[in-house]
Amino acid sequence: MTPESKINIQRQRGFVLALTLWMLAILTIAAGFFSLWTQRAVTAAQTLQMDLQGEIDMQATQANLIYLMATQRFNIGGLTTPDKKSEEDSKSKTKILSTPNDFGEASILPEGGEIFLDDRPYFGSGKAYFALQDESGLVNINLESMEAMSRLLNLLGIKKDLCPALVAKLRDYTDEDDLHLLNGAEKYEYNLLGLSPPSNRLLIVPWEARRILDWDKQPALWENDTLPQLTQALVAAHPNINTAPAIILQAVYNLTDEATERVIKAREGLPFYEVSAVTQIAGMTLDIDPEEADNFFPASYLRLMLWYENARRMRQIHLQITPYADKSKPWMVHYTLNYGLLPRYTQLSPIRARTTLFDATVSSETP
């Protein structure tokens, strides 16, 4: 064999070796991509399965809560739950609809085991959670006094000197005339800025406040849905002291931090039913006419929050209990919203309701 032949053979062997290495590298990369794609596909399928099961659990939780609202009484402690014997007895639709679920026939005092209506998280069916808020425990954004609204805005982080002007613009937006309040704004100011003019009617939902001049420029009001979570536009009364959040007690009744803490701690054991007891526990007088501080019973309007374990979104349902509705079901859903999971609901430890209704759940897995 000539030297030239040996060189050619060595070159061919080197080429084959390089080609083999390239093929191995390509196959390795392809296998890696396939493995990554498979992993993502499996993760997506698992997430879809979890979301489906979460939706089923939320629907079951909602159905059980509506059943309780339609068949159980409310008192100053919240929504009563049936005893074990009652849960074992089935009720026909006729019996449910013929049983009055009113707010005056039985004692208003708590029996023990009520589901609280102060927005605290509960375990629902399966991996779902829920929280019920009596809407009368929130501030009526249309009717609350300007002083109380100013205090609320300040407590939410708005500079104190800006609060009166914001409240004045709110009142100008909702009143029926075109007269300016001090530091308010009417149609003329909105036209100058190319904005839709005031509706000159009461807000239907709290989110409408973003249309008010300068209100949309206050991120503290809208981050994590802060203002809409604390206000309502349905119940024409001062906030229910038994279900109001701490910040509402401070804003509307002008209580100090210490007084608010004492009131909330006391209502955990025995809800209030007269203002004199609130004054005694708080150690100070409420900033309100005593004759108007008579809201201790939950309203027929409720806000239901639903979410499930590891969810990124949650559902808000606004309900009304209508026990005497003619030829209709004893509840009404006014509207439903879906949005990102609010942090406060994951920061509080959920508790269990004293009922077995949430023990069972329906599986999304098919046989």
Same domain? 112 vs 156:
no
- Which strands, in side-by-side order, build the sheet including 122-123? 122-123, 128-134, 301-308, 313-321, 331-340
Same domain? 190 vs 117:
no
- Residue 148: give its domain's CATH number: 1.10.40.60
pLDDT of residue 90: 47
Structural domains counted in the chain: 2
User: Nearest to residue 221, comparing CAs of 305, 275, 128, 153?
Assistant: 153
Same domain? 177 vs 120:
no
- Asked whether residue 49 is assigned to any structural domain, the reply reads no
> Where does a domain end: 174, 203, 222?
222
Same domain? 69 vs 124:
yes
- Asked whether residue 252 is assigned to any structural domain, the reply reads no
In which domain, by residue range, is 185 found? 141-222
Residue 114 to residue 174: CA distance in whole angstroms: 38
SS3 label, residue 344: helix
- Asked whether residue 8 is assigned to any structural domain, the reply reads no
Residue 220 CA, chain-centre distance (Å), reads 17
Residue 340 to residue 337: CA distance in whole angstroms: 10
pLDDT of residue 230: 98
> Where does a domain end: 179, 205, 222?
222
- Are residues 357 and 57 in contact, defined by beta-carbon separation less than 8 angstroms? no
- Asked whether residue 278 is assigned to any structural domain, the reply reads no
pLDDT digits (tens, 9 = 90+) for 157-193: 999 999 999 999 999 999 999 898 999 999 999 999 9
Residue 367 to residue 358: CA distance in whole angstroms: 23
Distances (CA, A) of 345 to 226, 245, 323, 341: 13, 14, 30, 8
Same domain? 94 vs 121:
yes
Same domain? 83 vs 97:
yes
Q: What is the pLDDT along the chain (367 residues), one digit of tens a residue?
A: 555 554 455 555 555 666 676 777 777 777 776 666 656 655 555 555 567 899 999 999 999 999 999 999 999 999 999 875 555 444 444 444 444 444 444 678 998 899 999 999 999 999 999 999 999 999 999 999 999 999 999 999 999 999 999 999 999 999 999 898 999 999 999 999 999 999 999 999 999 999 999 999 999 999 999 999 999 999 988 999 999 999 999 999 999 999 999 999 999 999 999 999 999 999 999 998 877 777 899 999 999 999 999 999 999 999 999 887 666 778 899 999 998 999 999 999 999 999 988 886 656 554 4
Same domain? 301 vs 317:
yes
Looking at the chain, list the stretches that DSSP marks H as alpha helix, in order from N- to C-terminal side: 3-71, 84-88, 93-98, 146-155, 163-174, 187-192, 219-222, 226-230, 246-253, 257-269, 275-282, 344-347
- Asked whether residue 24 is assigned to any structural domain, the reply reads no
Q: Regarding beta strands 301-308 and 128-134, do their DSSP bridges make them parallel or antiparallel, or are they unpaired?
A: antiparallel
SS3 label, residue 243: coil
- Asked whether residue 215 is assigned to any structural domain, the reply reads yes
Q: Which pair of structure tokens corresponds to residue 9?
A: 């053979």
Q: Is 7 left (phi over 0), alpha (psi -120 to 50) or beta?
A: alpha
pLDDT of residue 174: 96
Task: Tell me the percentage of the chain whose pLDDT exceeds 70.
Answer: 80
Residue 277 CA, chain-centre distance (Å), reads 30
Same domain? 110 vs 162:
no
Same domain? 71 vs 115:
yes
Same domain? 123 vs 155:
no
Same domain? 118 vs 163:
no
Task: Tell me the percentage of the chain whose pLDDT exceeds 90.
Answer: 66
Render 62-125 in DSSP notation, one character per residue.
HHHHHHHHHHS-EETTEE----HHHHHS---HHHHHHS---SSSS--S--S-PBP-BS--EE-S
pLDDT of residue 96: 42
pLDDT of residue 26: 76
Indicate the pTM of the whole model.
0.81
SS3 label, residue 312: coil
Same domain? 63 vs 130:
yes
User: Nearest to residue 332, comparing CAs of 347, 343, 317?
Assistant: 317
What contacts 342, CB < 8 A, 6 or more positions away? Answer: 224, 225, 229, 314
Distances (CA, A) of 203 to 103, 173, 212, 247: 28, 9, 11, 22
- Asked whether residue 258 is assigned to any structural domain, the reply reads no
SS3 label, residue 353: coil
- Asked whether residue 240 is assigned to any structural domain, the reply reads no
